[in-house]
Amino acid sequence: MTRTRKPRTTYPKAFKLEAIRLMKESNRPSAEIATELGIRRNQLYKWKEQLESKGEDALTSKLGRPLKKDQSEVTTLRQENDRLREEVEILKKAAVYFAKELK
């Protein structure tokens, strides 16, 4: 029984700012606000903390791995090196397998 993972939802900066404003200015509990907005309560607190610590620039969404063009050349070469090592191991095993068949 495997569960499929929901794709991660990204929210625009304006949505995050509005959610934080609602949490600060309204007298309603944050859980109620989060339910109304369709997010988790702890997400509101996380956004509020990010806003206070790093400013509005922290609320921009930059998820996942950096794009290939943004990776350093060393990182790209290491990945290629790992891939090539795996290929060599596969070829060695294949050579042993076919050598046994010839005997």
Could you list the mean pLDDT of each consecutive 10-residue stretch along the chain, which spans 103 residues? Answer: 73 88 89 90 90 79 61 85 96 90 75
Eight-state DSSP code of residue 39: S
Same domain, 82 and 53: no
pLDDT at position 102: 77
Rounded Cα gap, residues 103 and 99, in angstroms: 7
In a domain, 87, yes or no: yes
User: Same domain for 31 and 76?
Assistant: no
81, part of any domain: yes
Please give the model's pTM, rounded to 2 decimal places: 0.53
pLDDT of res. 64: 57
Range of the domain at 84: 65-103
Please provide the DSSP assignment of 42-81 as one string. HHHHHHHHHHHHH-GGGGS---SSPPGGGS-HHHHHHHHH
CA nearest 21: which of 61, 58, 56, 63?
56
1 belongs to a structural domain: no
Co-location of 50 and 19 in the same domain: yes
- Please indicate, yes or no, whether residues 55 and 75 belong to a single structural domain of this protein: no
Number of domains in the chain: 2
